[in-house]
Structure 1
Amino acid sequence: MSPARAGVPVTDTSSSPAETDPLHALVLGSLDEDQAQDVVSIPLQGKSSIADHMVIATGRSTRQVASMAVKLAERVKKAGHGAPRIEGLPAADWVLVDAGDVVVHLFRPEVRGFYNLERMWGFGDEAAVAGQA
């Protein structure tokens, strides 16, 4: 289910502050390059101390989810942002990539629909979620 259909407001990331946050821009670019689907970025500043951004994306298969996670971690490390922690890689139904200021959740479609993180983190805030198709 896309974020818009889940009742979560979605806006285009081209006007978001991603240009001012190199790590966030790197994450979004990496996911775009790897053909992630339904990419959503939720700003967490002022909501949580865990990160500045939470990015949620879908892969078509466990193989694609795992590949996106590994490539993202390599790109983040190569860009000098440190080595991200990766959780959930063996099953690759839901993989978490913790890159510090940006936390990335990569899902298979049915797992993403079940957990519906966008709704949990974007509730009640019209401008809370920024997505890209």
Structure 2
Amino acid sequence: MMKPVKAVDEVRRIIQTALEDIKAENVVVLDVRRRTSITDFMVFASGTSRRHVKSIADRILEAAKRNAIHALGVEGEESAEWILIDLGDVVIHVMQLSAREFYRLEHMWGMESEDETSGFGEGS
């Protein structure tokens, strides 16, 4: 029997705790429900080095597994410059600062107003 899918707020809480524990920087959460049907929330976080980016992604994946949340996909682990973790209702981008500044994904979504973004963790 499959375990029930966790509520999106619970998934966000689990991710938030993992990001805070590993000291992810500049964490931003975008509510994209009105803009796309592929996910409900996008989370962006920066790491200080490739090792830190990889450690952040590993912490998120460990927390997800511990809480019976199945990752639909993980990309970029080899280079660890930008790792994407797809948890279904929540997609997480863990990036080195240089990649994050170059791609500016938060801005691409056109969500720069405070009512559509929220931060948590260090750097928010």
Q: Percent identity?
A: 36
For the residue of structure 2 that corresponds to 1:122, the secondary structure is coil
Q: How big is each residue's C-alpha offset from its partner over 1:18-42, in whole Å with a ceiling of 9 and x where there is no partner?
A: x971001111111111100000000
Counting only pairs closer than 5 Å after superposition, residues 13-24 of structure 1 correspond to structure 2 as: 21-24=9-12
Aligned: 1:41 with 2:8: no
Instruction: State the one-letter code of the partner of 2:12.
Output: H
CA drift at 1:97: 0.6
- The answer to whether 1:127 aligns with 2:111 is no
Q: State the distance in 1 between where 2:96 and 2:80 align.
A: 8
Equivalent residues of 1:39, 1:56 under 8 A apart: yes
Q: Secondary structure at the match of 1:42?
A: strand
Between the aligned partners of 1:115 and 1:53, the Cα distance in structure 2 is 18
Give 1:78's aligned amino acid: R
Quickly say closer, same or farther: Cα 1:123–1:34, change in 2 above 3 A.
same
Greater shift in the superposed pair: 117-126 or 90-99: 117-126
Task: Give the TM-score of the pair, scaled to structure 1.
Answer: 0.80
CA RMSD of aligned residues (A): 1.8
Report the Cα offset of residue 122 of structure 1: 3.5
Q: Distance in 2 between matches of 1:82 and 1:34?
A: 21
Q: Distance in 1 between matches of 2:17 and 2:54?
A: 17
Q: TM-score, normalized by length of structure 2? A: 0.85
Gaps of 5+ in 2: 1-6
Q: CA deviation at 1:118?
A: 1.0
Distance 2:111 2:21 in 1: 29
Summarize deviations over 1:92-128 as a string: whole Å, max 9, x none: 0010011111000001011100000111113475522
**2:51 aligned with 1:63:** yes
Q: 2:81 aligns with which of 87, 90, 93?
A: 93
* Structure 1 position 129, deviation (Å): 1.2
Comparing 75-84 with 116-125, greater Cα deviation is found at 116-125
Higher mean C-alpha displacement, 79-88 vs 23-32: 79-88
Counterpart of 1:35 in structure 2: which amino acid? K
C-alpha separation in 1, matches of 2:12 and 2:116: 16
Matching of residue 105 in structure 1 with residue 93 in structure 2: yes
Structure 1 runs (4+) greater than 2 angstroms displaced: 122-126
